[in-house]
A and B are shown apart, each in its own frame.
Chain A
């Protein structure tokens, strides 16, 4: 069995909250979502390289969490939310790939202009002004490009650990794999990124 065998079960009996409990749960969920939404958006944006698509994916993840897991203990929400989000990003990539294949049957490109260029795509996903871009610095842009070129699992491990600050156990839940795999993916990601970005970036 692979190291990524499921280590996470979510099917506990659920009691429907009523009255004050429901209001309290809504308040807690609102607080949680407000706390993670910005970081989640940037993480999704790095994953799909498109702000609007990332917004859709984050909203979808928030809705799924609210519908299916709001009754779970609040401390489980972060890994669950990121698991939903990363599944969404993975599905988005699969759909894009299939879409390109289907459109190729009709003799046209799915995105209209040929091969994907990661540097061009990552140039300014947020539509920032040149002044903002300058302030934010070239470093983040280069980091985003390098992260975008990592294999999917390494990218997830790096972003969940470094950007979202999940611990190894939480990252394992979010990625649906074992803690050993998280450590391996994360370590390889850091090694590759450091190698790609070079010493002067640091």
Chain B
């Protein structure tokens, strides 16, 4: 790709700054990367096993998405602002993530919090 000298200078400077930021990564981050790499190497040749593990969640996430949709329909109220509709596919996307599964487990709490308003929980702890 033929670049103008100005563009080349620009990208060279960007490259140098980026390289510098890579060199400055802290020890804790490098350690996390190292652990992640070894975890990945431990997965070598486990594609079939991994697929089996994932497949176990398919029925669970489907049911969970339906449950979430039902609760939201029951708790539905006119929103303060115009929003895009939330579809079942949206929920399934959220449920791909372990953190979101945790959110789903706490759904009753969120519903209560929503109904109780901003002062909810002030008397706890």
Contacts and interface: CB of A to CB of B under 8 A. Distances in A.
B56 interface: no
Interface in B47-93: 47, 50, 72, 75-76, 79-81, 83-84, 86, 90-91, 93
Contacts of B47: 67-68
A163 interface: yes
Interface in B5-32: 6-7, 9-11, 13-15, 17-18, 20-22, 24-26, 29-30, 32
A104 B45 CA distance: 42
B4 to A, nearest CB: 9
Interface string A15-49: 01100001001100110011001110110000000
A201 B9 CA distance: 11
A4 interface: no
B104 to A, nearest CB: 10
B123 to A, nearest CB: 20
Interface in A118-171: 126-128, 132, 135-137, 139-140, 143, 161-163, 165, 168
Contact of B17 (A65, A137, A165): A137
A34 B10 contact: no
Which of under 10, 10 to 19, 20 to 34, or 35 or more describes the interface residues of B?
35 or more
Q: From DSSP, what is the main secondary structure of chain B's interface residues?
A: helix
A71 to B, nearest CB: 8
Which of under 10, 10 to 19, 20 to 34, or 35 or more describes the interface residues of A?
35 or more
A152 B45 CA distance: 32
B33 interface: yes
Given A65-B40, A102-B86, A194-B7, A37 B33 contact: yes
A102 B6 contact: no
- 10 closest Cβ contacts across the A-B interface? A59-B36, A62-B40, A140-B17, A66-B40, A98-B90, A37-B33, A63-B40, A67-B47, A66-B43, A33-B37
Given A70-B45, A106-B111, A161-B11, 15 more contacts: A29-B44, A38-B25, A38-B30, A39-B22, A41-B33, A42-B18, A42-B22, A51-B29, A62-B40, A63-B43, A105-B86, A128-B26, A163-B15, A183-B1, A186-B1
Interface of A: 16-17, 22, 25-26, 29-30, 33-34, 37-39, 41-42, 51, 55, 58-59, 62-63, 65-68, 70, 91, 94-95, 98-99, 101-102, 104-108, 126-128, 132, 135-137, 139-140, 143, 161-163, 165, 168, 183, 186, 190, 193-194, 202
24 contacts: A16-B45, A29-B41, A29-B44, A30-B41, A33-B40, A33-B41, A51-B29, A63-B43, A67-B43, A67-B44, A101-B86, A102-B90, A105-B86, A106-B111, A126-B25, A132-B24, A136-B21, A140-B17, A143-B14, A183-B1, A190-B3, A190-B10, A202-B9, A202-B10
